[in-house]
Amino acid sequence: MGTPLLPDLRRRLAAGEFLLGTWVTLLDPAVAELLSGSGFDFLVVDGEHGPHATADLQATLIATKASGVAVLARVGANEPVRIMHALDAGATGVVVPQARSVGDVERAVAWCRYPPAGLRGIAPRRAAEWGRRSAEYLAIANEAVVCCVQVETAEAMADLDAMLAVPGLDAVLIGPNDLAAALGHTGQLDHPDVEAAIARVLEGGRHTGVPVGIWAPNAPAAAIARREQGFAFVTIGADYVFLAAAADAAIRAVRAG
């Protein structure tokens, strides 16, 4: 059997564990390799706002394989080829940005699942250890691959209850920056309207049983507060955020000394 083909992130989400992740935006796979040893439950490789294409994602997956950390791919758009490229490369699942409707969620779910449950084409390649474990991968993929969509638009808020009720949706990630902008409060993540919308998504997830996560800045207190609020998972900071914060703090300390 060998090592597991996919981490058990989907099971852990469904079981109600609190999970902590971060964002991989820098292309050098050594960065993801370094972060994979920090104790995160998962990493999210950014192919929407970050420069990661399929080849870059694959390099990251190779670099982090030994750690066993789950790696999600935020695809650039809700398109079948992007989702299948990420999953066939071996990603644990996808994060689909800008989901605005029930149809968007249904599309994402369908392309994460093999027939008859979905529409994903069969060619797992690296995900199945280059075909050596294809039968095993095909047997587990529909139960192990994570389909997560982002709620971050006014349209999504209007269609929220129906979106959360789509069968096969594993998780929702709130994008607070885009959500704030969509509500007319760009850059004001702590605006009461934004927090009210966030609370509504969280309550909708509780009602439907869909785990809800959110991004938090590089501040442990912020992540802890979201955990206590009831979020199932948090993505804290990002690789470049950690690097910049440490460098800036070191410089300030030396200058001040």
Per-residue pLDDT tens for 141-199? 999 999 999 999 999 999 999 999 999 999 999 999 999 999 999 999 999 999 999 99
Long-range CB pairs of 55-61, under 8 A, 24+ apart, other chains included: 56/27, 56/29, 57/85, 57/86, 57/89, 57/91, 58/89, 58/90, 58/126, 59/29, 60/24, 60/29, 60/32, 61/89, 61/90, 61/91, 61/126
- Give me the domains of the chain, ranges plus CATH numbers: 9-256 (3.20.20.60)
Q: What is the pLDDT of residue 54?
A: 97
Q: Is the pLDDT of residue 2 over 80?
A: no
Q: How far is CA 23 from CA 73, 143, 159, 167, 213, in A?
A: 10, 24, 27, 27, 13
Respond yes or no on whether the N-terminal peptide bond of residue 116 is cis (omega within 30° of 0): yes
pLDDT at 191: 96
Closest by Cα among 133, 97, 124, 94 to 110: 94
Rounded distance between C-alpha atoms, residue 61 and residue 33, angstroms: 9
| Mutual angle of helices 54-64 and 80-89, in 10-degree steps | 30
**The pTM is what?**
0.96
Q: Decide if 112 contacts 96 (C-beta within 8 A).
A: no
**Across 107-122, average pLDDT:** 98
pLDDT confidence band for 1 (50 / 70 / 90): low
> Is residue 131 predicted with pLDDT exceeding 70?
yes
Residue type (1 letter), 167: P
Q: Which of 49, 52, 85, 185 is catalytic?
A: 49
Q: Is 85 a catalytic residue?
A: no
Which residues on neighbouring strands pair with residue 23, listed in sequence order? 44
Q: What is the pLDDT of residues 200-210, one digit of tens each?
A: 999 999 999 99
